Structure 1
Amino acid sequence: MSAAFEIFLQGTPGLEEALAEEARATGFAKAEAVPGGATLQGQWTTVWRANLKLRGAGAVLARIGGFPASHLSQLDKRSRAFPWGDVLRPGVPVKVEMSTSAKSKIYHAGAAQERIERALSESFGATIDPEATVVLKTRIQRDYVQFSVDTSGESLHKRGHKPAVGKAPMRETLAALFLRQAGFTGEEPVLDPMCGSGTFLIEAGEMAAGLWPGRDRRFAFEDLATFKPDLYARIRSEAPQPRPLEELPGLFGSDRNAGAIEMAGRNAEAAGLGGAVTLAHRAVSDLERPAGPPGLVIVNPPYGARIGDRKQLFSLYGRLGAVLKERFGGWRAAIVTSDGGLARATGLPILPPGPPVAHGGLTVKLYQTAALR
């Protein structure tokens, strides 16, 4: 349990640095951004904490070891000698996922996967199941075989307390990192005028309350040989007492779709934030400035490549910008869109956008403003 190994935090391409910053701020001091996520060194207790506490990671992978192999017979032999029992639990089914590099002599992923599955089955007694919760991710690059275990199971954006999902939803992990990019610290009000199922509001509320995102769900690491239930229970007991709802900054959401407002309300209640989120069924044109100090308006509006005709969306973005300029002096705005032309159609003083981010088969950016005048 004390030996250190590499841990890979799988992230959204384009937001690797934001994920590494979150990890460092959460206590994983030496996290470093790498393509596709962030890495750090730690023990199995580090893995458990990362799954429980990180908002921006989609999965936590434990690098459990590897060996050089330049042909299939060598891969077979060394896979049979690998100490699977140090990590995998006998009797727990395993799924093998395989990727190979053109820079390796073993280039046929299917053949390599077959050898590893056979080795697991015959030398360790593992049951190979394509639906298994425990996933062994195998990568062969430059004739080196690297084994990693996905310790999360279901993607970490599935917090375990969101019963309702609308159309074109934004993943919670992505919303959390966009909030971080927008400078949200949990101390200012947040308003989403096209809130859908409420993802931005709920992530902001949980961040402000100090709630751990993994508090309500199970993880694949609970099926590994390295899992110690009593020690894990003690780690879960470290969770801070959540900030009382009445002390949270305002969380305001509206949408022209009544069904979306109903979903957002149900999701806020399920997350334990029902008393902190204020929702209204209204169009952007009817948006009202909440009483109190200025804060952050963050929104994931429709964009032409995703919903509707691009030309018809210019008026929507224009109305949004006009309302914000007229009624939201002192507030900052953050807009997620795949179309810089639409962002500029708001007429807001847009700052240079953030990096391109993969989202729903598209590439989006976060367009922000300073405090509006």
Structure 2
Amino acid sequence: MSDDFEIFLVATPGLEAPLAAEVRALGWTPETQPGGVTIRGGWQDVWRANLLLRGATRVLARVGSFRAMHLAQLDKRGRKFPWADVLRPDLPVKVEAVTRKSRIYHAGAATQRIERAIAEELGAPIAADAAIVVKLRIEDDLVTISLDTTGESLHKRGHKEAVAKAPMRETMAAMFLREMGFDGSQPVLDPMCGSGTFVIEAAEIALGLAPGRSRSFAFENLASFDAEGWQALKASVPVRRANPQFFGSDRDAGAIRMSQQNAARAGVAELTRFDQCQISDLQPPDSPPGLIVVNPPYGARIGNKGPLYGLHAAMGEVFRSRFAGWRVGIVTSEAGLAKATGLPFQPPGPIIAHGGLKVRLWQTGPLAG
């Protein structure tokens, strides 16, 4: 195993561009493709990507590849692969295979061959519920072997226990903030904050907190893992000072409690403020103008959109009449609801897959006084 291999950073479809920008800002050279971003590096880069990236959902280490035209060849080359360089013989492994445009077309048979190679050559047990996942991709007769180095999806930062009904994933919230030009210095207000994701994510970015600081990762169970090096990497992340200018409100008292608890677990309680408040009663916080970012209800089912048009119109009126100088970002699946606000939106961002819906970010420039 060389210490220079391809690392694939999985993105939420539609958010590849802001993820590439984040990757570039952290010093890597990204190559964007549908579904994610590729970089090159070694195990330290794998650890760092899992620890620091806010927009990736998963980090795959592409640890090797070879050609195979038929199952016997896959079996033979699979047995010669240096599994001991990447996997531990004492921990169970699961293999997942996909095949495309290849003479080996049966993913199940390919899975069995690689499982047997790992079990017999390395001695590692095979288990359907194993935490270590080897991903096998056979495309145009090229077999690529990747390791899922993440485990649970990266949007699970390890702080949010309480979740609102239609939660915005942390990875998406971070990328929407990035798309709005947020760099940690601007105030942020979410007037329908739910479980507080936008507000907490903004406060963490302002402080420079590593999103993966509180959780464990699959790479900690690989042969390449160095516990001391990992602790040193975590300790090297600089934390900044930041202003307490991250505000959330919601009409639901339960949402406010959830947000406060989640902010406390994330270590940003002192930078955030959450108030129970109807949109109609919303007033600008005591801060310079900043960003309003909101993920309002968009009524996935046909038939319950009527009241939502009224809600969006009222929300737009509040923003226009009280929030001069602020910029607004609204995440919605419905262009009609965005337009019902009457806000001067720029052309909307790309379509993003969100829980079976297709949403977009609509944003304005600074609102006129």
TM range (shorter): over 0.9
- Alignment match, 1:372: 367
Deviation at 1:292, TM superposition (A): 2.1
Question: CA shift at 1:2, angstroms?
Answer: 6.3
Three-state SS of the structure 2 residue aligned to 1:58 is strand
Question: Corresponding residue for 1:164?
Answer: 162
Question: Structure 1's 197 and 368: CA in aligned 2 closer, same or farther, altered over 3 A?
Answer: same
Q: Which amino acid aligns with 2:43?
A: W
Q: Is the 8 A contact 1:251 1:277 kept in 2?
A: yes
Contact 2:18/2:178 (<8 A) preserved: yes
Any residues of structure 2 matched to 1:1-373 within 5 Å, and which?
Answer: 3-28=3-28, 30-101=29-100, 103-240=101-238, 242-244=239-241, 247-305=242-300, 309-373=304-368
Q: Which runs of 4+ in 1 moved over 2 A?
A: none
Q: What is the alpha-carbon distance in structure 1 between the residues aligned to residue 359 and residue 316 of structure 2?
A: 19
Structure 2: gaps of 5 or more residues: none
Query: Contact 2:244/2:272 (CA < 8 Å) preserved in 1?
Result: no
How many pairs does the alignment contain?
Answer: 368
Q: RMSD over aligned Cα, in angstroms?
A: 1.3
Q: Which runs of 5+ in 1 are unaligned?
A: none
> Structure 2: how far apart are the matches of 1:52 and 1:271?
15
Identity %: 60
Range with bigger deviation, 158-167 or 174-183: 158-167
Which amino acid in the other structure matches residue 232 of structure 1? Answer: W
Code of the aligned partner of 1:333: V
Whole-angstrom CA distance in 2 between matches of 1:162 and 1:177: 18
In structure 2, do the counterparts of structure 1 residues 13 and 306 end up closer, same or farther at CA, with 3 Å as the change threshold?
Answer: farther
Structure 1 residue matching 2:269: 3-state secondary structure: coil
TM-score, length-scaled by structure 2 = 0.97
Please give the alpha-carbon distance, in whole angstroms, between the structure 2 residues aligned to 1:249 and 1:347.
31
One-letter amino acid of the structure 2 residue matched with residue 19 of structure 1: L
Separation in 2, partners of 1:43, 1:254: 43
Task: Say which SS state the counterpart of residue 96 (structure 1) adopts.
Answer: strand
Matched AA of 2:140: R
